[in-house]
Amino acid sequence: MLRLLFVAIGLLFVILGFVTVRQYEARPPLIAVVPRTTGSTLWETERAGIDAAARQWRCRIYWNAPTHEDDVEGQINLLEKIRLGPYDGLVLAPDHALALLTTIRRTLAAGKPVVIISSRLALPAGGKLSYIITDQEEMGRLAAARIGHALNGLGTVAIIGIDPGIAGLMSRLRAFETELGLHYPRIRVVTRGPGAFNAAEAQESLIAALSANHELSAVFALTAVSTRAAYFTLKSTDRRGIILVGCEQDTDMINRVRAGEINAILAEDTYQMGYLAVRQIHTLLAHRKVPAVTVLPPVLVTRENASSAPIARLVDNYERIIQHK
């Protein structure tokens, strides 16, 4: 009799375990997505990719971010809430290369898979951590080649939008200067200024560069914010003859490329990043392996291709999101 009781209890535990597993499998996973900020073309296009993948793999999405890309403390606080909350995974575009490492380690230690997009951190990929990033070095090389060709190998350049806290931006910067030194030695970088995520700071930096270098030939802006600031500064000071090459797509700035007012923009395919990130979280939750690092090429947007379908896709998803709000 006692033996039959133990068998019955054992069967009960098996049934309860099976029901629990089935309930978990039936519940769509909840994935937290934290871009650097909200409301910009760059990250809302990522959101379109996130939503497309979430529909395909039946995932729920929690989307939140600081209102400014330089609000590192705000992003840390948000990540801590996610770590302690009912989330099954995290997709993150980091606002700082070092400040976020502790909370990301804690999230991984809690068993939650993490996909970092756009820019790498000082954490090795593997296990539950993977990266989907832009080839930042290629972005810098393409920008240098674009400016070098436009200047016929001779002139001066101001660089704005530098932020040592963003590893990807520093990789862009180093690759840009290396490419200039190797292939365009008669083009000099005359100033390097901040303003990655602060338009006023970027504008002040460029105005100082213009005052100190009356024959400035070109500007390389490392972010969407600094590209926009550079465009309006050059326009307001009637220095529109200066070549401007920027980084990261912005709907209005892409329109300025189409009009010939900006020479080129190096864009990131954040739609594809978002789509792949959700797919990887879904795969990791199923205890299957994903690529440790996925590198996507940057897209050179020029007047010649700015109206093409592949380029339009980089901003079209954002525009459709706005239209449906």
Distances (CA, A) of 20 to 29, 163, 218, 286: 15, 48, 62, 16
DSSP state letters, 286-314: TT----SEEEEPPEEEETTTTTSHHHHHH
| Residue 274: Cβ-neighbour burial (10 angstroms; 0-12, 13-18, 19+) | buried
pLDDT of res. 3: 56
Per-residue DSSP letter, 261 = S
Question: Going residue by residue through the chain (325 aa), what tens digit of pLDDT does each one get?
Answer: 555 544 445 554 444 444 444 444 568 999 999 999 987 888 989 999 999 999 999 999 999 999 888 899 999 999 999 999 999 999 999 988 899 999 999 999 999 999 999 989 999 999 999 999 999 999 999 999 999 999 999 999 999 999 998 999 999 999 999 999 999 999 999 999 999 999 999 999 999 999 999 999 999 999 999 999 999 999 999 997 999 999 998 889 999 999 999 999 999 999 999 999 999 999 999 999 999 999 999 999 999 999 898 888 787 654 454 444 4
pLDDT of res. 6: 46
pLDDT of res. 20: 40
Sort residue 313 into left (φ over 0), alpha (ψ -120 to 50) or beta. alpha
pLDDT of res. 316: 63
Count the Cβ atoms, other than its own, within 10 Å of residue 232.
15
**In contact, 48 and 271? CB cutoff 8 Å:** yes
Cα-Cα-Cα-Cα torsion 150, 153, 157, 159, nearest 10 degrees, comes to 80
**In contact, 240 and 84? CB cutoff 8 Å:** no
Say how far residue 124 (Cα) sits from the centre of its chain.
19
- Angle at 264 (CA atoms; ends 193, 178), nearest 5 degrees: 55
Q: What is the C-alpha separation between 55 and 186, in angstroms, rounded?
A: 52
Domains, the chain, ranges and CATH? 27-134+269-297+309-323 (3.40.50.2300), 137-267 (3.40.50.2300)
E strands, the chain, in order: 30-34, 60-63, 89-92, 114-118, 129-134, 155-160, 187-192, 218-221, 243-247, 264-267, 293-296, 299-302
pLDDT of res. 322: 42
Say how far residue 251 (Cα) sits from the centre of its chain.
16
Say how far residue 11 (Cα) sits from the centre of its chain.
50
**Would you state the structure tokens that stand for residue 140, as one six-digit string?**
């810098």
pLDDT of res. 130: 97
pLDDT of res. 325: 44
pLDDT of res. 1: 52
DSSP state letters, 30-80: EEEEE-S-SSSHHHHHHHHHHHHHHHHHT-EEEE---SSTT-HHHHHHHHH
pLDDT of res. 309: 86
Say how far residue 33 (Cα) sits from the centre of its chain.
12
